[in-house]
Chain A
């Protein structure tokens, strides 16, 4: 087994985080097989029922099973996060790679463009984009993805810049390696670790952002189940059904905390390995 993965699994917090995410993802993927009820099935005879053996999380104002909706909400969240991270990575990493490797005018132009994306707090940028595109799952995914571009671009650029200073990159150039060769066989393979950490961290950010957008009522439109929307609706029944806004929030919070722990553990392991490699 990869020594990095072994050390990661030796860390209790990271292990719990991975276990939770794997469990959640499995539940989300196989939701239709393991759950008896439909997330959209209404039962107007049993609205706002407190948690019971039949409905572990209780029911909502239309009598829908809240746990079923929370698990289908995980599907929405994870798809949005995955799509957003892919968009952000596919655009951000090449920007950072080119800007950092070549420097000069390419760097200036690309990073100014990235600065534009950073000129607004991420959530406002996403809201503005959704204001233009209209509410849909794709719009949420795209908006969250685009707000993630700058962090990928900046992390990659910083990493590439520091690698550029290292003699082993200069050595490849001295050997006659072309820019493309140097960039893809020497620089990029050494730049992966912090990008990987960023993938984990950004997944958490994306899930949080998607939930926030839905909570604000500009994210994924109902009746598609989403955690943010459940909290938004649940907030209207704080006196009648306090569990409504509390229980899905726990699922969401645990997801964020798991990814955050995982990201921080990974980043510490990479730091340790780096200092071991750099020698005395």
Chain B
């Protein structure tokens, strides 16, 4: 098992290296000098000298990259041009908000997506199936930012039930404001995720329903709910776990837009603000951090998959 994890990890290393190289090379691609990109156009000569030495910008390019990577691995992502604060600190303050939103949305996605898929797959091509498939198409096709606007119009502008802009409250310490502030963003993103989940799970279930072992299970005299609930579900869940994992790994991509719609103070907003003012160390830091999360979750999904599928020999 350990060897399997290590092997999967080894496969991610080239991707991680190449991607980080790309992120690091950003500052060379932007117009102007890389030092300007790192400390801002109106930096003092002392600051420029300090950063030149600290990052070794006088060194050969690959050496520079290596030092930057080592620093990043030690948690040193540089300082924001705007606020002069360490990038890692800025990111750390935003993580709980984004995590809370991402998990709440995934929960909505599962709670809506799984029942829709199961109901759909049990009677393929029935009226219900078509209605639910149409629902999934809507969930996927309606842009989240527009759905968010519609929800704000209904629940904030029209009904005055919920706030139109969402602030972050920790769910544990302030459950009531956390829920009222989280409801619309989580619903907006969650409905989209439910579309992904239900469409994929329906296809997986339909594929399994025609498998030979289903006929075998029926020929043994099993109850239909056991045939579906045990045999079919267990097999369809295997690929579904991967999709849920990928969606988790992608959740920051989804939260970026949702956070913008609801002006929610998460990592995505931080990144957009950083791009808006061309705060390159902050942009690099955010993206590197998101990359690390993405790869970690992917790895976890792989390992989990090997664990739950008896056919994969991870030795």
Contacts and interface: CB of A to CB of B under 8 A. Distances in A.
The answer to whether A and B touch in the complex, with CB atoms under 8 Å apart, is yes
A85 B3 CA distance: 40
Interface in A110-143: 112-113, 115-116, 119-124, 127-128, 130-134
Interface stretch (B87-95, B136-144, B173-181): B136-144
Nearest to B252: A121
B307 interface: no
Contacts of B272: 127, 216-218
A90 interface: no
A212 B143 contact: yes
A116 B22 contact: yes
B140 A123 contact: no
B252 A113 contact: no
A123 B253 contact: yes
B250 A121 contact: yes
Contact of B164 (A113, A212, A238, A245): A238
B140 A238 contact: no
Interface residue SS majority, chain A? helix
A213 to B, nearest CB: 10
Contacts of A103: none
Contacts of A253: 141-143, 146
A245 B19 contact: no
B291 interface: yes
Interface residues of B, number: 45
Interface in A227-251: 228, 231, 234-235, 238-239, 242, 245-246, 249
Contacts of A116: 15, 18-19, 22
Contacts of B14: 112
B306 interface: no
Given A120-B294, A216-B272, A235 B261 contact: yes
Interface residues of A, number: 42
B253 A252 contact: no
A68 to B, nearest CB: 20
B260 A216 contact: yes
Nearest to A260: B141
A204 B142 CA distance: 11
A257 interface: yes
A48 interface: no
A238 B153 contact: yes
Contacts of B145: 211-212, 215, 228, 231
Given A120-B290, A242-B157, A246-B150, 4 more contacts: A113-B18, A127-B271, A217-B276, A239-B157
30 contacts: A112-B18, A115-B15, A116-B15, A119-B15, A119-B295, A120-B19, A120-B253, A121-B290, A121-B294, A123-B253, A124-B287, A127-B272, A128-B26, A128-B287, A131-B278, A134-B31, A212-B145, A212-B257, A215-B143, A215-B257, A231-B145, A235-B261, A238-B153, A238-B157, A246-B149, A246-B150, A249-B143, A249-B146, A253-B143, A264-B137
